[in-house]
Chain A
Amino acid sequence: KAGVTQTPRYLIKTRGQQVTLSCSPISGHRSVSWYQQTPGQGLQFLFEYFSETQRNKGNFPGRFSGRQFSNSRSEMNVSTLELGDSALYLCASSLGPGAQPQHFGDGTRLSIL
């Protein structure tokens, strides 16, 4: 079974631009979560989607948005990029409630120049 797939692996943008990151969950997983990982802050929760609905949201500005499609694939968009948005963005999918763990992708490394 294929794991969580994130594209692209690396991305370089300049301040003010916008970016879209993609995540394909494990087949059958309907919950997709996004995290921002930085050396100083660790993993910060961005948002979680289930059946195309955002159910949970972290404390990030409105420049960070996401969506989920009917096939459970998810995209994350960041507009008006700032230098501080440079980070590893991780996507994770989960099968269901209870003790089901999240399975992570390899992440997208976003660098802002």
Chain B
Amino acid sequence: AQTVTQSQPEMSVQEAETVTLSCTYDTSESDYYLFWYKQPPSRQMILVIRQEAYKQQNATENRFSVNFQKAAKSFSLKISDSQLGDAAMYFCAYRGSGTYKYIFGTGTRLKVLA
């Protein structure tokens, strides 16, 4: 069975600095998708970034980028130039290519310090 692990329950970062959130996963599948979701206190989950496992190039969305290491089964999220609005719970998620079932990590709470 697939698993997703986020080993950092909480992280803090100074405004305008860079922070990296860790995520590791375990799977025997070769084709899958990885996602980072953000859940602000208002509680709606918002997609931050996605990565297809068959793509070697790391995904980037403005200030958000990932470091995808397929062999190591690692999928970290880097937030550059952190802003107060980035404060939220961040979830890493896995989905196999042949299923709609998502597996989420337990989340990392990010605090942004002014």
Q: Is the CB of A106 within 8 A of B43?
A: yes
Question: If the complex has contacts A42-B91, A42-B106, A42-B107, are A104 and B100 also in contact, measured as CB distance less than 8 A?
Answer: no
* C-alpha gap A35/B93 in the complex (Å): 13
Question: Measured between alpha carbons, how far is A50 from B59 in the docked complex, in Å?
Answer: 29
CA distance A30 to B105 in the complex (A): 25
Contact A45 B103, beta carbon cutoff 8 Å: yes
A33 to chain B: which residues have CB within 8 Å? Answer: 100-102
Bound complex: CA A61 to CA B21 (Å): 33
A25 within 8 A of B: no
Say whether B68 faces chain A, with CB atoms less than 8 Å apart.
no
Residue count of chain B within 8 Å CB distance of chain A: 22
**B97 CB to nearest chain A CB (Å):** 8
Q: Which A residue sits closest to B106, measured CB to CB? A: A42
A18 CA to B63 CA, complexed, in Å: 45
* Smallest beta-carbon distance B93→chain A, Å: 8
Taking CB as reference atom, which chain B residue is nearest A48? B100
- Decide yes or no whether B50 CB sits under 8 A from chain A: yes
A56 B99 Cβ-Cβ under 8 A: yes
Partner of B44, one of A43, A94, A97, A106: A106
Contacting residues, chain B, for A86 (C-beta < 8 A)? none
A residues in contact with B75, CB < 8 Å: none
A42→B104 contact, CB < 8 A: yes
A56 with B101: CB separation less than 8 A: yes
Name A107's contact: one of B43, B91, B104, B106 (CB within 8 Å): B43
Is B47's CB within 8 Å of the partner chain A? Answer: yes
On whether the beta carbons of A45 and B102 are closer than 8 Å, the reply is yes
In the complex, what residues of A have CB within 8 A of residue B97's CB? Answer: 97-98
6 further A-B pairs in the complex, CB-CB below 8 A; given A35-B104, A98-B33, A104-B46: A41-B106, A43-B91, A45-B101, A45-B104, A99-B50, A101-B47
Binding site for A on B (CB under 8 A): 33, 35, 37, 42-47, 50, 52, 91, 97, 99-107
- 14 chain-A/chain-B pairs, Cβ below 8 angstroms: A31-B100, A33-B100, A33-B101, A33-B102, A42-B104, A45-B102, A55-B99, A55-B100, A56-B99, A58-B101, A94-B100, A98-B33, A99-B33, A106-B44
